[in-house]
Structure 1
Amino acid sequence: MLQRLTANRLACLLMAGLVPTLAPAQKAPDVENIVQEAMAGDHRSEAHRARDDARHPAESLAFMGWRPDMTVVEVWPSRGWYTEILAPITRENGIFYAANFAPTADRTPGWRKRQHKRYMEKLERRPAVYNHVVATPLAIPERTTIAPPGSADMVLTFRNVHDWMQAGYAPAMFDAMARALRPGGVLGVVEHRAPPGTSVAQMKATGYVTERHVVALAQSAGLSLEARSEINANPRDDHDHPAGVWTLPPTLRHCGQVLDNMRRDCKARYRAIGESDRMTLRFRKTP
């Protein structure tokens, strides 16, 4: 019937409310494009840009399910590689907590206090990019509230689980992340990946952690594994290096220990492998 109505007649019916209208479908945000725009910002250092191809931030955040209106927590941002991306994309509509080292905690070593200071100075240098970032202290067991409990839509941590294992407080860190999440919220984990069967002692020594171990830590904190991705996999990495994961770029620790005349070849060898093979896991807090 509607096809036989004239345009004027149809307009009159619509104005009178006699013909139902359909609300336009809400367009999903183009996450990868939003992230790539942030990656192109002039606030990023060239050293950090050089890691983009290895770390796949646009694809990783799309896999995690990030949206512009989310409350997001980044745990242990270190020098702020991911902060350079997360801060711009949360600025307009989201909330961004950076749960960094706690400089006043009793057991915080000096190098972490210095790194925290450098991170805060980084935020202060570019207020137009970072002045909305809420920095929260995180230290086990003194400071464990990384955001208001139950407030975060998403908690993210990148290449930190092995550090927590070495320090002996990985379960407590997962508990802290789970407490920050709202019911149904997402925990995203990227971590150096060890082959199945690797012992806990080997994980602590090499920095590579099995997926099974990370899943067990998350499940113990009340989180369920929802999906895995190979976005950050590296088949060239055989996981067997003289200085563990730190042999590979960007650290190249082993090459600093060889003779000067062998250093160039050493760096070229490990740069050809690239950054570590990594798991990318998405967990969800049970509603």
Structure 2
Amino acid sequence: MKKLITTLLLTTLCSSAYAASEFESTANKIKAAIKSEVRTEKDTKRDKNRKALQTLKFFGLRDDMKIVELIPGGGWYTKILAPTVAEKGQYYGALYTGPIKKLAKQPGFEKIKILAEDSKIYKEEGAKFYSLEANTLEVKNVDMVLTFRNYHNFAEEGRRKMNKLAFDALKAGGTYAVVDHTRRHMEQNTPSNNRRFDPVLAIKEIQEAGFEFVDFSTLHYREDDELEYEVGVKSVTGNTDRWTIKFRKPI
């Protein structure tokens, strides 16, 4: 029994060491991307809060992966993700990609590929949340789909559509990585919480799309965010409590 326990402990230690070593190459590329001159002062001011290296390590990013970033917006994460996988993998941007098309013309970002350019994200007159029209991301068997602080933007139908698009694009065993601002559980919509989302409801919806819940991280837990104010309010902006959750497409 003692020999068996020793063997198990050694196996665990070796596995942990291997995982750390496996991520080292990716970590070096992430660090290099973070230091890139293409990133503006506005980008770098957010580094301490967003913790890109730790967040991407938690999600299991590797530099040889094919990845899709949904709704990359202004490209804060694109500037880190695209260079990290440029040599061995592939970066795809999908849904509201206008801003990163300019980035794709800059040196080091030529391999960026834009998907689902015919998709539409729009808000009906008087609506609080966006709708989404897209049937496919035009890619299959990718390793990871990521989206950062976008889930809250959509009405239920749009969220379910986004989850389905991610599920269909991923390979079996692939990762769906989602981050958003935290709303209190079961709290009704108010002008102050429109850009927040209930993590319990997010887990429910994403599991209903076919995903398995894998893990969550407290990297972006902020005790001093009382979940009361709009995320742009001076007292919480740049320091909101965010949920960081990892899902998997079943094998």
TM range (shorter): 0.7 to 0.9
Are 1:203 and 1:209, in contact at CA under 8 Å, matched by a contact in 2?
no
Are 1:96 and 1:134, in contact at CA under 8 Å, matched by a contact in 2?
yes
Cα deviation for residue 43 of structure 1 reads 1.1
In structure 2, the residue matched to 1:5 is none
Consecutive unaligned residues of structure 1, counting only runs of 5 or more, are 1-24, 102-115, 248-266
Describe the superposition over 1:77-129 as per-residue Cα deviations: whole angstroms up to 9, x where unpaired: 0000000000110100001110032xxxxxxxxxxxxxx443312322x1x22
Measured in 2, the distance between the counterparts of 1:94 and 1:147 equals: 17
The root-mean-square deviation of aligned C-alpha atoms, in Å, is 2.1
Q: Which amino acid aligns with 1:277?
A: D
Structure 1 residues 164 and 270 mapped into 2: Cα distance closer, same or farther (>3 Å)?
Answer: closer
* SS of 2:231 mapped into structure 1: helix
Measured in 2, the distance between the counterparts of 1:203 and 1:172 equals: 24
Alignment pair present for 1:143 and 2:107 = no
Cα deviation for residue 35 of structure 1 reads 1.3
Q: Which amino acid aligns with 2:240?
A: S
What pairs up with 1:135-284 in 2 under 5 angstroms? 135-136=114-115, 137=117, 138-139=119-120, 142-149=133-140, 151-165=141-155, 168-199=157-188, 201-202=189-190, 205-241=193-229, 244-247=230-233, 267=234, 269-270=235-236, 274-284=238-248
Are 1:223 and 1:286, in contact at CA under 8 Å, matched by a contact in 2?
yes
Are 1:211 and 1:279, in contact at CA under 8 Å, matched by a contact in 2?
yes
Structure 1 residues 143 and 206 mapped into 2: Cα distance closer, same or farther (>3 Å)?
Answer: closer
TM-score (normalised: structure 1): 0.71
Measured in 2, the distance between the counterparts of 1:212 and 1:135 equals: 31
Consecutive unaligned residues of structure 2, counting only runs of 5 or more, are 1-17, 121-130
Identity between Structure 1 and Structure 2 (%) = 28
Higher share in helix = 1
In structure 1, the residue matched to 2:7 is none
In structure 2, the residue matched to 1:131 is 110
Structure 1 residues 121 and 34 mapped into 2: Cα distance closer, same or farther (>3 Å)?
Answer: closer
TM-score (normalised: structure 2): 0.81
Measured in 2, the distance between the counterparts of 1:54 and 1:196 equals: 24
Are 1:227 and 1:283, in contact at CA under 8 Å, matched by a contact in 2?
yes
Structure 1 residues 203 and 213 mapped into 2: Cα distance closer, same or farther (>3 Å)?
Answer: farther
Measured in 1, the distance between the counterparts of 2:68 and 2:240 equals: 24
In structure 2, the residue matched to 1:108 is none
Q: Which amino acid aligns with 2:23?
A: P
In structure 2, the residue matched to 1:104 is none
Measured in 2, the distance between the counterparts of 1:270 and 1:237 equals: 6
2:48 aligned to 50, 53, 72, which one? 53
Cα deviation for residue 163 of structure 1 reads 0.4
Range with bigger deviation, 77-86 or 232-241: 232-241
In structure 1, the residue matched to 2:15 is none
In structure 2, the residue matched to 1:107 is none
Are 2:23 and 2:57, in contact at CA under 8 Å, matched by a contact in 1?
no
Measured in 2, the distance between the counterparts of 1:205 and 1:144 equals: 29
How many residue pairs match? The answer is 220
Describe the superposition over 1:222-254 as per-residue Cα deviations: whole angstroms up to 9, x where unpaired: 00110010011111111112xx2232xxxxxxx
Measured in 2, the distance between the counterparts of 1:204 and 1:182 equals: 38
